[in-house]
């Protein structure tokens, strides 16, 4: 078992192709604990064979960057947890906290080789804009079961007419704050977008 941020503050950086293998892996395990794990760079991996919880009781954050990878049967982002990144998760992702596709302040893709379930109280943050070739964060998953809140944020740069924020083999459920065909204002209040997904979508029903 590995616990990062159990009673105090703890940080683990997995860099430059390093591999960390654990059974149970917890980030921010107890009230008052603050944990942070960063898996960054090609070949860098965190492989967990047991329960994997981010912000389970304390505050926890998992950041995947520049092609890093996390492998687990299930990754639970709890109410005090945050997951962000550009890289790969092999396993199912359950979001009861905050998931940011890409890195905060820049566009990127988070690939989940498993299913994505957004729980009640979960937040999915998507940024739109930027100056690179891609202009929207993307969460690419197996099946997607939606609940909770979708938050859109604007970045400086080009904003194309159609943005794919989530792609899945199938989409079920709906966000609490926006149903298919409704308009959603960005969290900064500077813009708004019509959100299409699921049956009745004007576009691919398996995309948001």
Q: What is the DSSP string of 116-154?
A: EEEPTT-EEEEEEEESSS--B-EEE-SEEEE-SEEEEEE
Average pLDDT over residues 2-10: 93
Q: What local confidence, expressed as pLDDT, does residue 135 receive?
A: 85
Task: Give the model confidence (pLDDT) of 38-72 as tens digits.
Answer: 999 999 999 999 999 999 889 999 999 999 999 99
Output the pLDDT for position 130.
79
Q: What is the pLDDT of residues 11-20, one digit of tens each?
A: 999 999 999 9
pLDDT digits (tens, 9 = 90+) for 118-129: 999 999 999 998
Residue 134 has pLDDT above 80, yes or no: no
| pLDDT score at 109 | 94
- Give the integer Cα–Cα distance in Å for 155 and 105: 7
Percent of the chain with pLDDT over 90: 83
* Predicted local confidence at residue 17, as pLDDT: 97
């Amino acid at each position: 078992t590995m616990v990062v941020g159990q009673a105090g503050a703890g940080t683990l950086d997995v860099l430059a192709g390093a591999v960390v293998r654990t059974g149970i892996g917890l980030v921010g395990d107890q009230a008052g604990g603050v944990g942070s794990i960063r898996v960054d760079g090609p070949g860098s991996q965190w492989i967990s064979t047991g329960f994997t919880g981010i912000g389970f009781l304390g505050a926890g954050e998992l950041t995947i960057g520049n092609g890093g990878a996390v492998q687990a049967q299930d990754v639970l982002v709890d109410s005090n947890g945050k997951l962000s990144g550009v890289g790969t998760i092999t396993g199912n992702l359950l979001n009861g906290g905050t998931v940011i596709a890409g890195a905060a302040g820049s566009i990127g893709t988070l690939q989940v080789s498993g299913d994505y379930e957004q729980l009640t109280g979960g937040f999915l943050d998507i940024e739109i804009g930027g100056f690179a070739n891609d202009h929207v964060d993307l969460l690419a998953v197996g099946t997607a079961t939606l609940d909770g809140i979708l938050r859109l944020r604007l970045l400086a740069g080009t904003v194309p007419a159609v943005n794919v924020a989530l792609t899945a083999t199938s989409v079920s459920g709906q966000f609490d704050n926006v149903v298919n065909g409704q308009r959603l204002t960005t969290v900064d209040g500077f813009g708004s977008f019509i959100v299409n997904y699921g049956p009745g979508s004007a576009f691919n029903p398996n995309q948001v």
